[in-house]
């Protein structure tokens, strides 16, 4: 995928599951997959064996002992066997306990993070992901909370446990890294965590999906998580710091746009949930109620902080107020000015 590409087709083609994994779970990475895969396969086999052992004899006996004529009486009816009752209650019970034991053990491994895990913030929204970083590989604090949106690859280091501190800005989402067999609900108004660790040598690009049907563009919540060596990660984080931390810049405005506004505002003139930013600057905008307004700094600022003050004609009042500081607002304005 091209850097910064947000073309859906591009992404879908890119995320096609590799051919050798077409029908089964993808290649595993990290510490959980062996247990998960083993248990998964084992449960599948047990299910198939029981299916065959129950359904095929049932078919056979239905055919063999069906009523041959009206008034036909059974020659012999055996209605109780203590031995059989114990066997088919006790047997499955033991199998279920074994499943529970290994399942619960795996669950605890996945939930309990190591103490030295690096914390990465995850914010899910309709419809995208944003990662935020507060420390580098060695644990040194970044200059500010450094945010990166899913329109570019989200980088993480190998050789370090990563704990995702997740929350949602709107509805339920679900954070799923199939290669790591790790998944967790992303819940508005509270935090949930999951953790993974890609060992050194397992550098590579792995898909991140939302697995909770969260609205029309749910299928676009695809992101690319790229695990790289520690040095590369630190260098990348430094470059992102510049965009995230303070100051007014076009780059920062673009970053905020692709992380927040893009879900509802296009740049190519097409109508999404809200009006396109193309040609917005300086335009005479018709406002619900009959008045009109020239799009300038104040109007944009008001639209961001208090979106319902003026509703654009023909659009629903569905824009949530955005918590942006002064520098961020100026950066967004700079960016909107560029969309001629």
Q: Which stretches of the chain bind ligand HEC, using CB under 6 A?
A: 256, 260-261, 263-265, 273-275, 280, 285, 295, 300, 303-304, 307, 311-312, 315-320, 322, 332
Interacting partner of 320 out of ligand HEC, Cu ion, none (Cβ under 5 to 8 A depending on kind): ligand HEC
Measured from the CB of residue 166, what is the shortest distance to Cu ion in angstroms?
A: 12
CA distance 251 to 241: 12
- Any contact of residue 122 with Cu ion (CB under 5 A)? no
Considering only 11, 160, 173, 330, the residue that binds Cu ion (CB under 5 A) is: 173
Residue 186 CA to residue 218 CA, distance in Å, equals 14
Output 177 or 295, the one with its CB closest to ligand HEC. 295
Decide which of Cu ion, ligand HEC, none touches 208; Cβ closer than 5 to 8 Å per partner kind.
Answer: none
The alpha-helical segments, DSSP class H, found in the chain are 8-14, 33-64, 82-111, 230-244, 250-259, 297-305, 326-338
Comparing CB distances to ligand HEC, the nearer of 31 and 253 is 253
Containing 207, the helix (H) or strand (E) segment is: strand 204-210
Which of residues 125 and 180 has its CB atom nearest to Cu ion in the complex? 125
Distance CA(101)–CA(31), nearest Å, equals: 18
CB 220 within 8 A of CB 75: no
The Cα 120–Cα 112 span in angstroms is 16
The nearer residue to ligand HEC, 198 or 261, going by C-beta atoms, is: 261
The C-alpha atoms of residue 20 and residue 5 are separated, in whole angstroms, by: 26
Provide the minimum distance between the beta carbon of 336 and ligand HEC in the complex, in angstroms, as a whole number.
7
- In whole angstroms, how close is the CB of 223 to Cu ion at the nearest point? 11
Report 200-229 residues binding Cu ion (CB under 5 A). Answer: 210, 214, 221
Which residue number, 118 or 124, has a Cβ lying nearer to ligand HEC?
Answer: 124
Shortest CB 211 distance to Cu ion, Å: 8
Closest CB to ligand HEC among residues 246, 317:
317
SS3 per-residue string spanning 112-177: CCCCCCEEEEEEEECCEEEEEEEECCCCCEEEEEEEEECCCCEEEECCCCEEEEEEECCCCEEEEE
Sign of CA dihedral 309, 314, 319, 325: negative
Taking the least distance from each CB to ligand HEC, the nearer of 44 and 292 is 292
Answer positive or negative: Cα dihedral of 265, 224, 174, 161: negative
Residue in this structure with the two tokens 């107020």, named with its chain if needed? 321
Shortest distance, position 267 Cβ to ligand HEC, whole Å: 12
Closest approach, Cβ 225 to ligand HEC, in A, equals 23
Question: What does 214 interact with, of Cu ion, ligand HEC, none (CB < 5 to 8 A by kind)?
Answer: Cu ion
40 binds, among Cu ion, ligand HEC, none (CB under 5 to 8 A by kind): none
Cβ at position 274, least distance to ligand HEC in Å = 3
Q: Which residues bind Cu ion (CB under 5 A)?
A: 173, 210, 214, 221
């Amino acid at each position: 995928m091209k850097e910064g590409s947000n073309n859906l087709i591009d992404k879908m083609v890119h995320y096609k599951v590799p051919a050798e994994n077409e029908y089964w779970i993808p290649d595993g990475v990290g510490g959980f997959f062996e247990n998960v895969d083993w248990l998964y396969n084992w449960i599948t086999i047990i299910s198939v064996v029981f299916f065959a052992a129950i359904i095929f004899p049932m078919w056979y006996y239905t055919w063999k002992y069906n009523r041959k004529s009206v008034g036909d009486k059974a020659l012999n009816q055996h209605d109780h066997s203590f031995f059989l009752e114990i066997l088919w209650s006790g047997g499955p019970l033991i199998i279920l306990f074994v499943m529970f034991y290994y399942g619960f053990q795996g669950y605890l491994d996945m939930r309990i993070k190591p103490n030295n895990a690096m914390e990465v913030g995850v914010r899910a929204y309709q419809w995208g992901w944003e990662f935020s970083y507060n420390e580098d590989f060695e644990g040194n604090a970044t200059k500010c909370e450094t945010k990166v949106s899913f329109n570019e690859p989200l980088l993480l280091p190998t050789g370090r446990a990563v704990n995702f501190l997740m929350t949602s800005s709107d509805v339920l989402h679900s954070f799923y890294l199939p290669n790591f067999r790790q998944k967790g609900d992303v819940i508005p108004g509270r935090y949930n965590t999951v953790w993974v660790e890609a060992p050194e040598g397992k550098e590579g690009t792995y898909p991140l999906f939302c697995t909770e049907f969260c609205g029309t563009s749910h299928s676009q919540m695809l992101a690319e998580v790229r695990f790289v060596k520690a040095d590369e990660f630190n260098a990348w984080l430094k470059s992102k710091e510049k965009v995230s931390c303070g100051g007014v810049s076009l780059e920062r405005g673009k970053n905020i746009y692709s992380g927040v506004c893009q879900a509802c505002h296009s740049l190519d003139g097409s109508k999404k949930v809200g009006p396109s930013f193309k040609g917005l600057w300086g335009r005479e905008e018709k406002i619900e109620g009959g008045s009109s307004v020239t799009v300038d700094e104040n109007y944009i600022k008001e639209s961001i902080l208090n979106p319902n003050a003026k509703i654009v004609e023909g659009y629903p009042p569905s824009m949530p107020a955005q918590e942006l500081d002064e520098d961020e607002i100026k950066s967004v304005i700079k960016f909107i000015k560029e969309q001629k």
